[in-house]
Structure 1
Amino acid sequence: MHSIKRNKNIRLFGTYLLLAIVSITIFYPLAWTIGASFNKGNSLVSTTLIPKNPTFDHYIALTKTSGTFYYFQWFLNSLKISVVTMVLSVILVSITAYAFSRFRFRGRKNGLIMFLLLQMIPQFSALIALFVMAQMLHLVNSHFLLILIYVGGQIPMNTYLMKGYIDSIPISLDESARLDGASRTRIFLQILAPLAKPMISVVAMNGFTGPLGDFALSSVILRDPKSYTLPIGLYNLINDKMGASYTTFAAGAILISLPVAIVFILLQKNFVSGLTEGGTKG
Structure 2
Amino acid sequence: MIKNKKTQDNILLTASYLFLIILVFIVFYPIIWVVAGSLNPGDSLSKTQLFSSDWTFEHYRYLFSETNYLNWYWNTFKIAFGNMVLSTLFVVTAGYVFSRYRFKGRKYSLMTMLVLQMFPSFMGMIAIFLLLDRTGLLDTHIGLILVYAGGAIPFGAWLVKGYFDGIPKSLEEAARIDGAGHFTVFYRVMMPLSKPILVFVAVNNFIAPWMDFIFARLVLTSTEKKTLAIGLFDMITGKSSTQFTNFAAGAVLVAIPITILFMIFQKHIVEGLKAGANKG
Moved more, 7-16 or 219-228: 7-16
What amino acid maps onto 2:122 in structure 1? F
Residues 1:173 and 2:174 aligned together: no
Q: How many residues align?
A: 273
Structure 2 distance, partners of 1:87, 1:107, is 27
Structure 2 distance, partners of 1:182, 1:17, is 56
8 Å CA contact 2:59, 2:246 repeated in 1: yes
Partner of 2:39: 38
Deviations 1:26-58 (A, max 9, x none): 211111111111000000111112233110000
Alignment of 1:78-97 (within 5 A): 78-97=76-95
What amino acid maps onto 1:89 in structure 2? S
Moved more, 178-187 or 236-245: 178-187
Q: How far has the Cα of 1:174 moved from its partner?
A: 1.6
Structure 1 distance, partners of 2:252, 2:268, is 25
Tell me: CA distance 1:182–1:4, structure 2 relative to 1, closer, same or farther (3 Å). farther
- TM norm structure 1: 0.91
Structure 2 distance, partners of 1:5, 1:180, is 59
Structure 2 distance, partners of 1:140, 1:83, is 19
- TM norm structure 2: 0.92
Alignment of 1:121-140 (within 5 A): 121-140=119-138
Percent of matched pairs sharing the same residue:
41
Partner of 1:246: 244
8 Å CA contact 2:234, 2:241 repeated in 1: no
Partner of 1:279: none
Q: Which runs of 5+ in 1 are unaligned?
A: 277-282
What amino acid maps onto 1:28 in structure 2? Y
Partner of 1:72: 70
8 Å CA contact 2:96, 2:161 repeated in 1: yes
Structure 2 distance, partners of 1:22, 1:135, is 46
Partner of 2:63: 62
What amino acid maps onto 2:26 in structure 1? T
Partner of 1:157: 155
Q: How far has the Cα of 1:190 moved from its partner?
A: 2.3
> What SS does the aligned partner of 1:239 have?
coil
Deviations 1:204-229 (A, max 9, x none): 12101111111111101111121111
Structure 1 distance, partners of 2:16, 2:188, is 41
Tell me: CA distance 1:136–1:30, structure 2 relative to 1, closer, same or farther (3 Å). same
Residues 1:188 and 2:189 aligned together: no
Structure 2 distance, partners of 1:240, 1:48, is 25
C-alpha RMSD of the superposition: 1.8
Relative to its length, the structure with more helix (as a share) is: 2
Q: How far has the Cα of 1:197 moved from its partner?
A: 1.5
What amino acid maps onto 1:181 in structure 2? G
Moved more, 51-60 or 145-154: 51-60
> What SS does the aligned partner of 2:20 have?
helix
Moved more, 30-39 or 173-182: 173-182
Partner of 1:280: none
Q: How far has the Cα of 1:59 moved from its partner?
A: 0.1
Structure 1 distance, partners of 2:270, 2:130, is 42
Alignment of 1:249-264 (within 5 A): 249-264=247-262
What amino acid maps onto 1:165 in structure 2? Y
Q: Which runs of 5+ in 2 are unaligned?
A: 276-280
Of the candidates 141, 144, 158, which is equivalent to residue 139 of structure 2? 141
